[in-house]
């Protein structure tokens, strides 16, 4: 945020008593978490009191990072000197006053969204459906609480045409404070569900509380599960969904909840702007705030400990069932004291999904359950302390983690789909453990996101996918004779690329008395790696026609220069493939699934799309052509193990390749070449980011750890270290290693813990 607020205006906005010498500074941003402060200059620190932490205890830490303006509820003589302290009755209310002050600086309309569920989905889908020339700012993620709304409003700026703000309430009286901040021009009420009745005596009371937000609104859009408007707000102009078969046919979601939320978003946009109907069909699937990781006893844990209501629980159970496949399913639901009345409803809902075991309690004891080899859903609100249960179930491996964002993957898949004809299929490559992301986990997400085929290198990879419950067609690129039995057993499609391999396959199928076994034919159009050459096609066709044991379903080849636009060799390959395709389909009298284009070719050579395209590393957000339209799927992080100062003349690491010429502060991190952080990154050739600052390696990278120089950064043990992320991309790390992103990914050790998240 960039508030650019002179200190006198800031003091006036938050109110309170000033202690300290008046400083004519400018407040540019606010923080309430000292750990997130990098440069405290022009920052105001709000010492918020939470359930587990008191911000007043972190004032010294914020001061050390340069903060000189503090909003506090009491002044202590032990606080650092040479700073300004604004003493208020309630720090959160002071922050909300600042948000109101900031909101009043702008005249553009504000659309407020509230309701029991679906707020984030509706917000994101409204933003998606808006005309491209509308400059919109919206609440980040699900910032819809008393604190979240204030922080969202502080993000408003003058280069904006519309703000979309979420507002959530959990008990009576909360909405009054939110409406004072938001002052909405328009409103959306997604639904009013009985799942939260533990905080309100009746659903009518909940409905009335929501409508407080819209008391001055010009127009309100109501979702389909909204009761009658309270009489005192009946005069507010309102719009309800009117059935529209054309629009409804474009909604891409099969489930009822998503479809209802999509209609609410369409209702709002179509009334306020000109609706581009084509955007409806590309509405992105917004998943829950879910984290998936390896658990103890060979389990997989799905951590959904953000909120609890019946609609959210239903969606989580659906996701759980999809991810588990044929594996045993266990459900643990933790209820807060306020939500204990929901127990019977929760149990009845969970039972409809028929898990192997379930536990629904205020303070569930997971040790009562057998979670061996199970996929475990841990569900509950933040008030139910279920985060603690999820932590207990996590398999303690390595403090270095590889994090995968399925929402980003979904975005990237959607982008590539938007670049190809609607009839063109999509094959996603998941060989080499899906480039190190985890074969089973990646394949299940790709199946969810609408991919048509999966591609693997070897039959054993395909067998692993089938055992995990994957139903998609699986193409095996390197099917050696020793793996033909696996292909037959698990219904895998082998790629056939030579007469010798074809002869071995035919002998196997004849021995098994199998006919019409599906295969794809690999042809060489110029890569000179594998495949039948063009001159061999007539003989190949003759053999295919003579052998009832095989049935050719597909034809493919590889482009050697797809990343080079208008490349003559690429065009020559496409023409050669087109000719072979025509000869094969004519001779065999059948239509084949023909595929040639990879990620780069989808844009550079749209004529190469044919019947199917093959996605590889582009799925992960890596592309030379359209990286700005893709999202990074992975983050590689670690934690500082130790911080020390080298005195002049002291060395570090094997071989004494770094000798300090002055006092030098270093941090040791538990990642080394055995993890995939290569030894070639030693002696400053590479590094990591800590607190957003590049920290070069010192000495040699060791097998299990590395040392980096941290300068004057105030680093502590346990601080997060970014290896790949916002500041150091997969591509930039690959360049530092003098290799390519594929090799970096596949080189990250299995001992590095993998975790997976999805955001609403």
Q: What does the domain layout of the chain look like in residue ranges? A: 5-98, 106-282, 290-396, 415-629, 634-758
Does the pLDDT of residue 52 top 60, yes or no?
no
Number of H helices, E strands in the chain: 23, 37
pLDDT band, residue 142 (cuts 50/70/90): low
Mean pLDDT of 516-535: 94
Given this model, what pLDDT does residue 35 score? Answer: 63
Non-local (6+) Cβ contacts of 107 within 8 A are none
Question: In this model, does residue 709 exceed pLDDT 70?
Answer: yes
**Residue 756 falls in the annotated catalytic set:** no
Q: What is the CATH number of domain 290-396?
A: 3.90.190.20
Instruction: Tell me the pTM.
Output: 0.59
Kindly state the percentage of the chain with pLDDT values over 90.
Answer: 65
pLDDT band of residue 87 (cuts 50, 70, 90) is very high
What is the CATH number that goes with domain 106-282? Answer: 3.40.1190.10
User: In the predicted model, is pLDDT for residue 719 greater than 70?
Assistant: yes
Among the options 351, 565, 654, 750, which is catalytic? 654
Interatomic CA distance for residues 447 and 425, integer angstroms: 13
Q: Is residue 322 scored above 80 in pLDDT?
A: no
Kindly state the average pLDDT of the residues 517-531.
Answer: 94
pLDDT tens digits, 613-640: 999 888 998 887 776 778 899 999 999 9
Task: Establish whether 654 is a catalytic residue.
Answer: yes
Q: Which of 402, 365, 360, 376 is nearest to 301 (CA)?
A: 376
For residue 305, what pLDDT is reported?
Answer: 77
3-state secondary structure of 238: strand
The strand ranges marked E within 436-523 are 453-456, 474-476, 493-496, 517-522
Give the integer Cα–Cα distance in Å for 249 and 256.
Answer: 13
Using CA atoms in the order 660, 661, 664, 668, what is the torsion angle rounded to 10 degrees? -20
Query: Whole-number mean pLDDT of the chain?
Result: 90
Instruction: Please state, in angstroms and rounded to a whole number, the distance separating the CA atoms of residues 36 and 34.
Output: 5
Q: What is the pLDDT of residue 59?
A: 95
Q: Does domain 634-758 have CATH number 1.25.40.10?
A: no
The domain covering 5-98 belongs, at the CATH homologous superfamily level, to: MurE/MurF, N-terminal domain (3.40.1390.10)
pLDDT of residue 53 exceeding 70: no
Confidence of residue 141 (pLDDT cuts 50, 70, 90): low
User: How many of the other CB atoms lie within 10 Å of CB of 231?
Assistant: 8
Q: Among the listed ranges 50-54, 67-71, 240-244, 450-454, which one has the minimum average pLDDT value? A: 50-54
DSSP class per residue in 312-335: HHHHHHHHHHHHHTTSEEEEEEEP
**CA–CA dist 567, 223 (Å, integer):** 52
| pLDDT given at position 489 | 96
Instruction: Report the range of poorest mean pLDDT among 247-251, 302-306, 338-342.
Output: 338-342
Name the pLDDT band for 199 (thresholds 50, 70, 90). low
- Please determine, for residue 432, whether its predicted confidence score (pLDDT) is greater than 80: no
Instruction: Please report which confidence band the pLDDT of residue 195 belongs to, taking 50, 70 and 90 as the band edges.
Output: very low
> What pLDDT was estimated at residue 196?
39
Helix (H) or strand (E) holding 426: strand 425-429
**Residue 61 and residue 80 in contact, taking contact as beta carbons nearer than 8 Å:** no
pLDDT in tens, 479-516: 999 999 999 999 999 999 999 999 999 999 999 999 99
pLDDT interval class at 223 (50, 70, 90): very high
| Set 206, 431, 522, 581: catalytic member | 431
- 251, two tokens: 């909604």
For the domain covering 415-629, report its CATH number. 3.20.20.10
Report the pLDDT value the prediction gives residue 39, as an integer from 0 to 100.
82
């Amino acid at each position: 945020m960039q508030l650019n607020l002179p200190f006198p205006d800031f003091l006036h906005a938050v109110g309170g008593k000033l202690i300290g010498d008046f400083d004519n500074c400018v407040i540019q941003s606010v923080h309430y978490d000292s750990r997130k402060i990098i440069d405290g200059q022009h920052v105001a620190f709000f010492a918020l009191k939470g359930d587990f932490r008191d911000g007043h205890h972190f004032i010294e830490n914020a001061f050390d990072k340069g903060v000189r303006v503090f909003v506090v509820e009491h002044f202590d003589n032990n606080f650092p000197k040479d700073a300004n302290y604004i003493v208020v009755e309630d720090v959160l209310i002071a922050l909300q006053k600042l948000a109101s002050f900031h909101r009043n600086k702008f005249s553009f309309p504000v659309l407020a969204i509230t309701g029991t569920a679906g707020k984030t989905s509706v917000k994101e889908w409204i933003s998606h459906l808006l005309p491209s020339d509308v400059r919109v700012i919206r609440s980040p993620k699900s910032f819809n609480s008393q604190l979240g709304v204030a922080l969202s409003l502080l993000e408003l700026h003058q280069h904006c045409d519309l703000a979309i703000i979420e507002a959530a309430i959990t008990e009576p009286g909360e909405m009054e404070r939110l409406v004072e901040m938001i002052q909405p021009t328009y409103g959306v009420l997604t639904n009013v569900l009985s799942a939260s009745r533990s905080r309100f005596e009746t659903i009518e009371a909940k409905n009335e509380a929501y409508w407080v937000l819209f008391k001055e609104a010009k127009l309100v859009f109501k979702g389909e599960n909204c009761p009658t408007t309270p009489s005192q707000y009946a005069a507010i102009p309102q719009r309800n969904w009117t059935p529209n078969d054309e629009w409804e046919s474009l909604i891409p979601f099969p489930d009822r909840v998503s479809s209802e939320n999509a209609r609410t978003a369409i209702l709002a946009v179509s009334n306020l702007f000109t609706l581009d109907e084509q955007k409806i069909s590309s509405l992105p699937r917004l998943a829950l705030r879910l984290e998936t990781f390896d658990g103890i006893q060979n389990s997989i844990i799905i951590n959904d400990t953000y909120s609890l209501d019946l609609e959210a629980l239903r969606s989580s159970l659906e996701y759980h069932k999809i991810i588990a496949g044929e594996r045993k399913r266990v459900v643990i639901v933790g209820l807060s004291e306020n939500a204990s009345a929901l127990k019977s409803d929760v149990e009845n809902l969970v039972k409809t999904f028929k898990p192997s075991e379930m536990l629904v309690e205020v303070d569930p004891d997971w040790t009562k359950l057998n979670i061996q080899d199970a996929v475990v859903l841990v569900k509950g609100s933040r008030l139910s302390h279920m985060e603690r249960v999820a932590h207990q179930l996590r398999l303690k491996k390595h403090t270095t983690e590889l994090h995968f964002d399925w929402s980003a993957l979904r975005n990237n898949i959607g982008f590539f789909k938007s670049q190809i004809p609607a009839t063109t299929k999509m094959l996603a490559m998941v060989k080499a453990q899906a480039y190190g992301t985890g074969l089973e986990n990646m394949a299940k997400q790709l199946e969810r996101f609408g991919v048509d085929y999966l591609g693997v290198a070897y039959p054993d990879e395909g067998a692993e996918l089938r055992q995990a419950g994957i139903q998609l067609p699986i193409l095996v690129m390197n099917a050696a004779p020793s793996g033909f039995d696996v292909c037959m057993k698990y219904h895998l499609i082998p790629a056939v690329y030579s007469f010798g391999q074809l002869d071995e396959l035919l002998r196997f199928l004849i021995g098994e008395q199998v006919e019409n076994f599906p295969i794809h034919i690999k042809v060489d159009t110029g890569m000179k790696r594998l495949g039948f050459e063009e001159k061999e096609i007539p003989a190949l066709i003759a053999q295919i026609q003579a052998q009832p044991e095989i049935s050719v379903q597909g034809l493919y080849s590889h482009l050697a220069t797809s990343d080079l636009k208008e490349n003559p060799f690429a065009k020559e390959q496409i023409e050669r493939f087109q000719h072979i395709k025509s000869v094969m389909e004519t001779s065999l009298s059948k239509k084949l699934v023909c595929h040639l284009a990879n990620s780069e070719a989808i844009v550079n050579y749209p004529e190469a799309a044919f019947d199917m395209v093959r996605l590889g590393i582009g799925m992960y957000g890596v592309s030379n052509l359209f990286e700005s339209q893709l999202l990074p799927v992975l983050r590689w992080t670690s934690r500082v193990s130790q911080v020390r100062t080298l005195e002049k003349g002291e060395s570090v690491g094997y071989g004494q390749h770094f000798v300090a010429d002055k006092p030098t502060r270093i941090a040791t991190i538990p990642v080394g070449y055995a993890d995939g952080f290569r030894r070639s990154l030693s002696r400053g050739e590479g590094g990591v980011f800590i607190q957003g600052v590049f920290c070069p390696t010192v000495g040699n990278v060791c097998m299990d750890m590395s040392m980096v120089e941290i300068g004057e950064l105030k680093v502590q043990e346990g601080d997060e270290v970014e290896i790949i992320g916002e500041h150091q991309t997969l591509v930039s790390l690959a360049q530092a290693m003098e290799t390519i992103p594929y090799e970096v990914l596949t080189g990250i050790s299995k001992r590095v813990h993998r975790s997976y998240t999805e955001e609403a």
